[in-house]
Amino acid sequence: MGICQMKKLIFIFIIAIFFSFIEIYADPAVFLNSIPGRAEIVIDGLVIPQKTPALIRNLSPGLHLIELSKTGYTTVKMNIELKSDEVLIIDPVLQYQHIPIIFPTYDDIQINEQQNSRDILLLEDGTYNFSMNSEQLRITPMYSGQKIINGLNISIPLLAAFSGAMTVNEIYNPRNADGSLSVFTLSSIGINAALIIADIILYFNRNRFYKEFKPPKVTIESEHPESLYATAEEMFAAGKLDTSLYYLNRILVQFPESDIYPYALYKSAKIKIIKEETDSAEILLNTLINEYPLPELYNSAVKSLADIFLRKGKFQESIDQLNLILFLESGITREEIDLQQYKILKKWSESDPDKYIELISHMEYMIQAYANSNYYDSYLRLLSEISAKHNMENQLE
């Protein structure tokens, strides 16, 4: 057996072990999204630097507590259990903490004595007083301790009158020989004083509440990202790529927090690829993969980026990208990715003959892995052609 054949057998053995290891010990992964997106992520008490949507790969199999939070929304907590080779998709809807109220007929709205020019108000949970006439609507929040203040305003005068009457009575008709007030009278005076102090504190807190109260802010947009995206799709279908890019770019600039943003990134990258602007497409796809990984876009974006690297002759980078693919129940299959890797290795071997051994080993792996494939005969033919070409080149050397 020649040295070259020995190297080939060793390489095939290593490749077989590698692929079996990937299959058995694949790390679990979790696609985390939320509606709306850009929520903060906490896993097992640790803050994750990404915001939703996010792809979490480094979780160990087992139980995990996931928390998603966003300003103005109720925090969502979920317990999940990961298996060693599982890919989970989690996309809860966050419930809004405030109550949106629309007043289309009022131009003059005052909240807590402050002018409000917005058509949509967001009111926190609580009690409010509404007063209105034909021209103006006035909304006043109720201080949470107002009922206590009302009760104290009634009880303090009554208790003061009661303790005062008892004090006067004991002055003229002392119960104690030394003329001092009785314990009962002193207790009533002390209780009344404590209630007065509590009332004063509540008044101060109420004044501070009204001074600091402001309704949650809301941005009223004159246009919506969904309508811009629909227009971009229409322009794309009509072949007007530059016009489609114009509307998509407006989404990317004006609506970075919108749920349609990742789709605008992917669509923009596709158009850039068509226009042969691969550098721009590469930037857009990297942003989508690393910052906005949605399960329905992620694999396609990874594969598109691998194709760009292949075009540029960056063969190892192209293979590295394909290794990031996550195989879900539907979508890209392992056979498709293995076939794409074959194409990369074939192109690579044209400029680097040493890659022929790896190319042959990869095709032998595919023949073994996809014995029931509709393309099995094609794989056998390709392996025969590659091996023949490789042997011919060795003979010429």
- Is the Cβ–Cβ distance between 167 and 174 less than 8 Å? no
Dump the DSSP string for 29-71.
EEEE--BSS--EEEETTEEEEEESSEEE--PPSEEEEEEEE-T
d(CA 273, CA 280): 8
Can you tell me the mean pLDDT for 355-369? 93
d(CA 53, CA 30): 10
- Is the Cβ–Cβ distance between 43 and 56 less than 8 Å? yes
Q: Count CA atoms closer than 13 A to 198's CA, side-chain side.
A: 16
* Strand, helix or coil for residue 313: coil
- Is the Cβ–Cβ distance between 38 and 52 less than 8 Å? yes
Q: How many helices (H) and strands (E) does the chain have?
A: 12, 13
pLDDT tops 70 at residue 75: yes
d(CA 388, CA 48): 52
Q: 195 exposed, middle or buried (CB, 10 Å; 0-12, 13-18, 19+)?
A: middle
Q: Which region among 50-59, 346-355, 360-369, 383-392 has the lowest average model confidence (pLDDT)?
A: 383-392
CA distances from 80 to 65, 69, 95 (A): 6, 17, 20
| Largest separation between any pair of C-alpha atoms in the chain | 132
- Is the Cβ–Cβ distance between 60 and 30 less than 8 Å? no
Can you tell me the mean pLDDT for 140-159? 88
Per-residue confidence (pLDDT) for residue 395, from 0 to 100: 63
To the question of domain 27-90 being in CATH 2.60.40.10, the answer is no
Tokens encoding 395: 């003979």
Can you tell me the mean pLDDT for 224-252? 94
d(CA 128, CA 378): 74
Can you tell me the mean pLDDT for 353-366? 92
d(CA 386, CA 364): 11
Which residues, in sequence order, are bridge partners of residue 89? 31
d(CA 213, CA 199): 21
| Residue 34's pLDDT band (cuts 50, 70, 90) | very high
Please, what is the end-to-end C-alpha distance for the chain in angstroms?
18
At residue 10, what are phi and psi to the nearest 5 degrees?
-60, -40
- Encode pLDDT of 305-342 as tens digits: 999 999 999 999 999 999 999 998 778 899 999 999 99
DSSP 140: E
pLDDT tops 60 at residue 235: yes
d(CA 291, CA 53): 7
Tokens encoding 108: 């003059």
Which residues, in sequence order, are bridge partners of residue 121? 101
Per-residue confidence (pLDDT) for residue 389, from 0 to 100: 81
Nearest one of 268, 332, 343, 383 to 12, comparing CA atoms: 383
Domain 225-396 fold = 1.25.40
| Residue 220's pLDDT band (cuts 50, 70, 90) | very low
Per-residue confidence (pLDDT) for residue 16, from 0 to 100: 46
Per-residue confidence (pLDDT) for residue 275, from 0 to 100: 96
Tokens encoding 200: 């004063």
Which residues, in sequence order, are bridge partners of residue 100? 122
Q: Which residue has the higher pLDDT, 16 or 279?
A: 279
pLDDT tops 70 at residue 60: yes
Q: Which stretch of DSSP H or E encloses residue 111?
A: strand 108-111
